[in-house]
Structure 1
Amino acid sequence: MTGPQTYLNYIQGQWSAASSGRTDASRNPANRNHIIGHVQLSEVEDLNQAAAAAQSAMPAWRRLSGAARGEFLYKTADAIARRIDEIAETMTLEMGKTFAEAKGETARGIAILRYYAGEGMRKQGDVIPSTDSEALMFTTRVPLGVVGVITPWNFPIAIPVWKMAPALIYGNTVVFKPAQETSITAAKLVECFAEAGLPAGVINMVTGDGAALGQALVEHPAVNGITFTGSNATGKKVGQAALSRGAKYQLEMGGKNPIIVAADADLDQAVEATISGGLKSTGQKCTATSRVIVERPVYEAFREKLLAAIRTIKVGDGMEAGTWMGPCANEKQLEKVLGYIQKGVDEGATLLCGGQRPDAAGLADGYFVEPTVFEGTTGMAIAQEEIFGPVLVLLAVDSMEEALQMANDVEFGLSASLYTRDIGNALAFIREMDAGLVRINAETAGVELQAPFGGMKESSSHSREQGQAAIEFFTATKTVFVKA
């Protein structure tokens, strides 16, 4: 009987083992004894080879027309579509989200590729009047060169694709460092790019320790730009290292996202949005709802509806029918979540539900935690710091003014949501909320691929991803002056 497959790096159009000769087991967070496969523990030498391959492939790739580059993205999208169930299952097995969510994410990756394939036929400059009547002056866009892509485990298809697709369509080549926990899912994604026939060296993937390889990628002289999604601590190191050598960088980091429930809100809709935004994917989204700010006249009614709905949630293996919420993605994340739950108790927050590891049959070997709800105050750690797990804190306020002040009273500013029927409330929220994504009568976690995405304050480097805004990071503007 053959054991779990070993997955390789992808460098210069070839699948190759790491120079270290070492591999790491990828384990199912729903059952830590289940090994999904083995991935490479690469060294800096392997990353250097990937960067050299990307650098050598760049001139020919950038000379292709945008339409020609787009055809490769269309073909990649088709390849993923043919394997959508396989890729989604791998994602669920590697990081725990339900199969339905994983399949939805994979479908989103397909849509992103097709969207950016079309970007190859859209304008990339403007004609500007010159003071010289006999001259032509215009702008055009040129690629950065080699782009390093560093991605997290929570969206192992969507986030790499929404970084790599615009990088490629605008003429850059890529060195991809995925999260080690989801490197098999990443390998299957890269297999689809390879199946589409991308020239050797245009995409390269190296797996291994995030700290060592990520630092080497950011500091590599051949890498002209870095796009990163992950923690604030790591993101700041990435930004500082890139800045020190003049490389362009883009950081998408944490969130502590509020939903405000006004006194006039539809409470059933607000409850549904709170649960969906806060607990799907086990709360492991940078846009996940974590603070629930409710006006006092409806606070008790909202709380009871919320608790009743949460108590019906089935926690379990994401591949099993009926499971609504899967495990934390890994043991470290589970320990972090449990640590914050204990911190909430120690700070004097009132634990309303959850807070434990579930004791249902078959869950003992997984990284499961119950959906958890606290009543607390805004100064508590559970109301200020990103937990990245299924933990909600309820906060009561006496007015919309207090709600907006409280919503802004954190270091993050990624996404925020308001439930109200009052246009005045909505306009004040749009005007005063310090977040890059504000949504009215919709959950905090909705992100559409054709719209700019990014945060304010400590949530990002103030750049934007997705949509046509992506061109701002992945290209530089060149001004051209022509005179006969």
Structure 2
Amino acid sequence: MSTAIFPNLVAGEWVSGHGALININPSDTDEVVGEYACATSAQVREAASAARSAGAAWAVAAPGVRSDLLRRIADEIERRCGELALLLSREEGKALRDATAEVTRAAEIFRYYSGEVFRMAGERSPSLRSGVTIEVLYEPIGVVGLITPWNFPVVIPAWKIAPALAYGNAVLFKPSELVPASAWALADIIDRAGCPKGLFSLLMGDGTVGREIVDVVDAVSFTGSVATGTAVAQRAAARMIPAQCELGGKNPLVIAADADLDVAVDCAIQGSFMQAGQRCTASSRLIVDVERVADFTQALVARMEKLVIGAAISPGTDIGPVIDERQLAKDLSYIELAETEGARLLTGGGRLNRATPGHFLSPALFGDTSNQMRVNREEIFGPVACIIPVRGYDEALAVANDTDFGLSASIVTSSLKHAQHFKANVRSGLAMVNLPTAGVEFHVPLSGLKSSSYGPPEMGHHAMRFYTKARTAYTFAA
């Protein structure tokens, strides 16, 4: 019996491609979630051509028209939240409660940008010359390529697609090949919400499809690894088109000597291990004042050993599996490396057996580490964290900043002086105080420093900086 293959959305039509992506449930590798068509090179070109035609009308559509589309998309995501969350959990392995929160946030993002449509204002500036007026106009950039990762298969597409459409652009959307099901469901919602034919295309497949998209669009927004993001930015630069890349992190959580222990442990649990550590904002470096290493370690280990690791859709699961066998092997290799480098395994770090075959891993915590160990320099993207002892706030800040990355950083402290100094001096795009490094909000900008980011920020009204281009008009009334 043959299995139906979910098609791509190309130029307003659902069409088959070549070959198929086999989508496997990481909580039960005997279950195939679905098979999804791979887009062809010809389909990428056809989608780009259709996008240019449809985009010309969309760019000048009344704000109310664009707003209504985004609101209809938000409404259907919200109505189908339970169904979409279950699908997300099955294909990505995220615990069902986290998947539900992600889908809910996606609906909120589309609704937010349905309002931002009306705030796409220009500027009027005085001139140096008498009788001259100056206007700054913001116009859609054109056709944008959106390439998204597997770890947030609904909300990251949402925070790219929503502003792209809100600000008058056409979209070619390429999701990660590991999570096509959520992307297909989102594309279906967008299509059925009345998106103009050709304005939005779904192009599933591997990295080849992503490279081909970069070659035919006017701008590209990418979220993923530093290596792939660098390649995307270089390919875009060769064509002289804008690129926006949100990349990796090696995020520090500083536990100061005056930290509240319960807050510190909660920040570490939430930031380091939830969602199997598969977040670019996860806190993998726990920088702890020597005065607090003993009590913090004891309390953190106790909390970790109560975490329930299991199938993503099972009630009571705190942490689901990692995404696939390759990521599991990477996590295990870094756990082995840490021990080779002299780190002391405090708890976890082993593969787990559950009722169904899956990629289950016990979250690992290491002590006696230094910031120069590879496990503290390289992004692992798994449930692995290392305690780095430091003496005092100044050393803690120096260690926090001693990294090639600069996405997120947090400090747990009761000192207003240290909190204020940390926010001003930590070299990261996101600075948290008494909060986990993971957890961002959609109405404010998301951007990193150093190797963590390239190009303008995402989210909030700041997204307009990427999805529009500025033109300046001078007028003299003769």
Counterpart secondary structure, 1:333: helix
User: How far, CA to CA, are the matches of 1:128 and 1:394 in structure 2?
Assistant: 53
1:4 CA drift (Å): 5.5
Offset at residue 67 of structure 1 (A): 2.4
Contact 1:4 1:36 in 2 (8 A): no
- 2:269 is aligned with 1:275: yes
How far residue 104 of structure 1 moved from its aligned partner, in angstroms, is 0.3
The answer for the alignment partner of 1:382 in structure 2 is 375
Q: 1:197 aligns with which of 191, 194, 198?
A: 194
The Cα shift of 1:123 comes to: 4.2
Question: Equivalent of 2:316, from 319, 322, 347?
Answer: 322
Extract unaligned runs of 5+ from structure 1: none
Q: Is the 8 A contact 2:120 2:167 kept in 1?
A: no
Q: CA deviation at 1:218?
A: 1.2
- Residue 167 of structure 1 aligns with an amino acid whose one-letter code is A
Q: Describe the superposition over 1:71-102 as per-residue Cα deviations: whole angstroms up to 9, x where unpaired.
A: 10000001111111111111100010011101
**Matching residue of 2:224:** 230
Match for residue 22 of structure 2? Answer: 25
- In the alignment, which residue of structure 1 is the partner of 2:347? 353
Which residue of 1 is the match for residue 103 of structure 2? Answer: 106
Alpha-carbon separation, structure 2, partners of 1:214 and 1:198: 23
Question: SS of the residue aligned with 2:312?
Answer: coil
Residue aligned with 1:121, SS? helix
Please name the residue that 1:299 is paired with: 293
Amino acid paired to 2:328: L
Q: In the alignment, residue 213 of structure 1 is paired with which amino acid?
A: V
SS state at 2:69 partner: helix
Mapping 1:238-253, distance limit 5 Å: 238-253=232-247
Offset, 1:317:
0.5
Q: Contact 2:120 / 2:138 at 8 angstroms: preserved in 1?
A: no
**1:453–1:465 Cα contact (<8 Å) kept:** yes
Q: 1:396 aligns with which of 385, 389, 395?
A: 389
Q: What is the aligned counterpart of 1:366 among 352, 358, 361?
A: 358
RMSD: 1.1
1:164 counterpart residue number: 161
In the TM superposition, what whole-angstrom CA distance separates every residue of 1:423-447 from its partner, at most 9, and x where no partner exists?
1111221121000000101110010
- What secondary structure, in the 3-state scheme, does the structure 2 residue paired with 1:325 have? coil
- C-alpha separation between the residues in 2 aligned to 1:9 and 1:462? 29
Q: Per-residue CA shift, 1:148-167, capped at 9, x if unaligned?
A: 00000000111111011111
Note if contact 1:316-1:368 (Cα within 8 Å) is conserved in structure 2.
yes
Tell me the equivalent position of 1:452: 445
- For residue 5 of structure 1, report the CA deviation from its aligned partner: 4.5
1:417 to 395, 402, 410: 410
* Aligned mates of 1:186, 1:433 — CA distance in 2: 35
Q: What SS is found at the alignment partner of 1:368? A: coil
User: Is residue 217 from structure 1 mapped to residue 213 from structure 2 by the alignment?
Assistant: yes
Q: Deviations over 1:448-470 (max 9, x none)?
A: 10010010000000421000110
Q: 1:48 maps to which residue? A: 45
Kept after mapping to 1: 8 A contact 2:310/2:318? yes
Displacement of 1:483? 2.9
- Looking at structure 2, the residues matched to 342 and 40 of structure 1 have their Cα atoms a distance apart, in angstroms, of 37
- Across the two proteins, how many residue pairs are aligned to each other? 476
1:231-262 residue CA offsets vs partner (Å, 9 max, x unmatched): 00000000001001101100000000110011
Residues 207 and 123 of structure 1: is their aligned pair in 2 closer, same or farther, counting only changes over 3 Å?
A: closer
**Residue 288 of structure 1: CA displacement?**
0.7
- Whether the 8 Å contact between 2:146 and 2:172 is mirrored in structure 1 is yes
Q: Which runs of 4+ in 1 moved over 4 A?
A: 2-5
* Aligned counterparts of 2:324 and 2:352: Cα–Cα separation in 1: 16
2:127 is matched with 130
SS in 2 for 1:180: coil
Within 2, Cα distance between the matches of 1:381 and 1:96? Answer: 27
Identity %: 39
Of the three residues 60, 66, 74, the one matched with 2:63 is 66
Separation (CA, whole Å) in 2 of partners of 1:4 and 1:265: 55
Q: Distance in 1 between matches of 2:465 and 2:409?
A: 24
Distance across 1 between alignment mates of 2:71 and 2:445: 22
